[in-house]
Structure 1
Amino acid sequence: MARVFVYGTLKKGQPNYKHMINTAKGLAKFQGRGRTVEKYPLVIAGKYNIPYMLNIPGTGHHVAGEIYSVDDQMLQFLDEFEGCPDMYQRTLMRIEVVEWEGKGGAEGILECFVYSTATYPPEWVGLPYYDSYDSTGKHGLSYVLRESRE
């Protein structure tokens, strides 16, 4: 099992969470909530209003998200879903545990896979930075589901 930190549309209550609980795509077990140890810019970009964590450590905010334990099948699905390695790159990042589910709770810092991007248009650096993503947030940038894209 691998640990994955999700900060965007794959979180509970967000438009793509359905994939995290679809066992046909593999297993993903919610472990808890966390945030990046280092600051990163989290932007909403492109014509489909997709959340991207730009791989610029030290800039932006400590990004909040959820920690999952996933099997190889789910990790492979997530790589495909996230357009890895072209759109996003899966890298290990240090995540501070904020809240842990169940027994044997983890504390402190964990290494988790995170889908961030180093391949983005330069103008994205000038977009507003968020510390947490919600598809229906005050930003007013509604996420466009894949099945609704042209």
Structure 2
Amino acid sequence: MVRVFVYGTLKKGQPNYPYMINDANGTAIFQGRGLTVDRYPLVIAGKYNIPYLLNTPGRGHRVIGEIYSVDDQMLQFLDEFESCPQVYQRTPVRIEVLEWEGRNTPDQPQVVNSILECYIYSTTSYKPEWINLPYYDNYDSLGKHGLQYVLRESRD
């Protein structure tokens, strides 16, 4: 099992969350909520209003998301779902724990405010003008931005 940090449509209550809890894709166990240690530009881009975390650390905001422990099958599913490595790249990042629901073990006690390393799907292959889009710290498909995500099955 490895840890993955999700910040967009795969979070609870977001359009693609059902993929995270579908056993056919593998196992994903919710561990808690966290915040990137480094700042990143989280933008909503393209005609389908897709959230992208641009891999330019130090610019943007500390981004809020969810921490999951996933098995190899789910990690492979997520790689395919995120078109990794063509669109998104899976890279390790440091996450500050805000809330923890995961099990604490003597060799790995997890407490609020501790720092974990998690995989994140960010991108270095984005259109240059995206860096000038508004930055968000917490993605919600139905947020005040008015840029509702278009599901894959609804795209042309």
Q: Is TM > 0.5 for Structure 1 vs Structure 2? A: yes
- Give the superposition deviation at 1:103: 4.0
Cα displacement (A) at 1:106: 1.1
Check whether the contact 2:26–2:74 (CA below 8 A) recurs between aligned residues: yes
Alignment match, 2:155: 149
SS at match of 1:144: coil
Counterpart position of 2:87: 87
- Structure 2 distance, partners of 1:89, 1:103, is 28
Q: Which residue of 1 aligns with 2:75?
A: 75
- 122, 138, 141: which one aligns with 2:128: 122
- The match for 2:138 among 129, 132, 143 is 132
Residue 66 of structure 1: aligned partner: 66
Identity percentage over the alignment?
A: 75
| Aligned residues between the structures | 150
Matched, 1:110 2:132: no
Task: Return closer, same or farther for 1:62/1:14 CA change in 2, 3 Å cut-off.
Answer: same
- Matched-pair contact (CA < 8 Å) for 2:38–2:94: yes
**Which ranges in structure 1 are unaligned for 5 or more consecutive residues?**
none
Deviations 1:114-135 (A, max 9, x none): 0000000000000000000000
Q: Where does structure 1 differ by over 6 angstroms across 4 or more consecutive aligned residues? A: none
Paired residues for 1:15-54 under 5 Å: 15-54=15-54
Compute the TM-score of the two structures, normalised by the length of structure 1. 0.98
Quote how far apart the aligned CAs of 1:69 are. 0.2
